[in-house]
Amino acid sequence: MTGASPGCDLGPPEARERLLRSLGLKITKTRVRMLELLQLHAIREQHVSAEDLHRQLCDSGENFALATVYRVLGQFEALHIVERHQFDSGRSVFELAKGNDHYHLVSVDDGKVLEFSDPVISERLAAIAANQGFSILEQDLTIYVRPAR
């Protein structure tokens, strides 16, 4: 992944504001608050939908339209602040861009998403691409799982 890739630790509100300013975005309460919520989910290694973010904003007394949440997520995605995933459910979920190779295990039973990193997998994927005369620009590996019985 290229671009801003802020990682999980955006620091205090001033750091979130600096990030937005450095990317040419106007500092708004919506953007700063959404970055804060996305950071909380990143710390918990959770992916979040636009609807979940909207609900959390409303639950905290902030009145933002769902369309605004989608618009800001689109801006963040275009600037590589967030990554969008669409797992088997067909519903888009978002996470802060980490700037490193990581992969997803998705439980087919409950939809729970677990992240993992594995340098051996990363090296192997790069080798496969190189053997075909390519270099990887972006990658996405999702493994659908069920608990072992």
Phi (first) and psi of residue 93, to 5 degrees: -130, 160
Inside any domain, residue 56 = yes
Q: Is residue 1 part of a domain?
A: no
Looking at the chain, how many residues does it have? 149
Residue 2 inside a domain? The answer is no
Of 94, 114, 112, 110, which is closest to residue 47 (Cα–Cα)? 94
pTM over 0.95: no
Q: What is the full per-residue pLDDT of the chain (149 aa) written as tens digits?
A: 334 444 545 666 677 788 888 888 888 888 888 999 999 888 888 888 999 999 999 998 888 899 999 999 999 999 988 999 888 767 788 988 876 788 889 888 888 888 888 999 999 999 999 999 999 988 888 899 998 88
Q: On the CB side of 145, how many CA atoms lie within 13 Å of its CA?
A: 15
37 & 80 share domain: yes
Q: Which two tokens stand for residue 41?
A: 């989910």
Predicted pLDDT of residue 100 = 72
What is the domain range of residue 131? Answer: 103-145
Query: Measuring CA to CA, which residue among 84, 91, 96 is closest to residue 34?
Result: 96
Query: Residue 67: its pLDDT value, please?
Result: 95
In the prediction, which pLDDT does 132 show? 96
Query: How many Å apart are CA 121 and CA 141, to the nearest integer?
Result: 10
- Rounded Cα gap, residues 147 and 131, in angstroms: 34
